Amino acid sequence: MHKEEVIGQIRNAFIANPYPGDAFLQGSFDGCEPYEEVSAFFGKTDWSQLDSAMLDAHYCALSIFSKCGFRFFLPAYLIADLREELLTADPLFHLWHGFSTVSASMPVGAETFERGSGGRKLLNPKRYGAIAWIDYARYRLSVFTREEAQAIVAYMNYKRERDTMGLDKPQIDAALAEFWLERAKNAPARDALQTHLQEEERFTAALLQARQKNQ
């Protein structure tokens, strides 16, 4: 696909998503940095109007957003990246990280330790028990609908085809195989989310009506 076709697909997939609300954008509460990063997005109810320089200045937000915050603002980063307007932010990394193992040997004194992350490596047993990197990646990225996942796959394929040095290809291939291709095929569609929300509203209205009758 051409760049503008991918951008169009991203816009069509994400443009109707409602703003989650300021109180629901922050996913990490470790220290003061998460609030400082995420608060820059408070009140930004239209992601398509965000300036690329602002996105780049808050590249850390991609790691700090809540799942709904990440879902809402990701398309702004994807389009800015496709237009080559980002100097620091790397949205592609956040779409493949966790699915393939990255490791390196680190000599410490007389010993050499194998250090790594991603794949089946444990995330942090003291905090997350037996959760592996791939488990967390699947959980965090399962927020996307079928249409959104299809747009993300189009973006990842576009980036893969233009990765002339092969720096990201193995990681992209692993993420596509482990998660994204299946997600783009079988994730709940946008209409399913809307139907669910409408049913929840009907259920809540019925409960309120029944309560009022019993008072």
Reported pTM: 0.91
d(CA 48, CA 61): 17
CA distances from 161 to 2, 164, 166, 167 (A): 11, 7, 9, 12
d(CA 93, CA 159): 11
Q: Where are the beta strands (DSSP E) in the chain?
A: 102-108, 111-117
104 contact partners, CB below 8 Å, separation of at least 6: 114, 115, 116
Supply 185's token pair: 């095929």
Neighbour-count burial for 77-109, b at 16+ CB within 10 Å, e otherwise: bbbbbbeeebeebebbebbbbbbbeeeeeeeee
Crossing angle of the two packed helices 3-14 and 146-161, in degrees rounded to 10: 160
Per-residue model confidence as pLDDT tens for the chain (215 residues): 899 999 999 999 999 999 999 999 999 898 888 999 999 999 999 999 999 999 999 999 999 999 999 999 999 999 999 999 999 999 999 999 999 888 889 999 999 998 888 888 998 999 999 999 999 999 999 999 999 999 999 999 999 999 988 889 999 999 999 999 999 999 999 999 999 999 999 999 999 999 998 87
Domain boundaries, the chain: 1-89, 95-189
Length of the chain measured in residues: 215
d(CA 33, CA 60): 9
CA 161, distance to chain mean position in Å, is 21
For residue 51, the model assigns a pLDDT of 95
User: For residue 26, what is the DSSP state?
Assistant: B
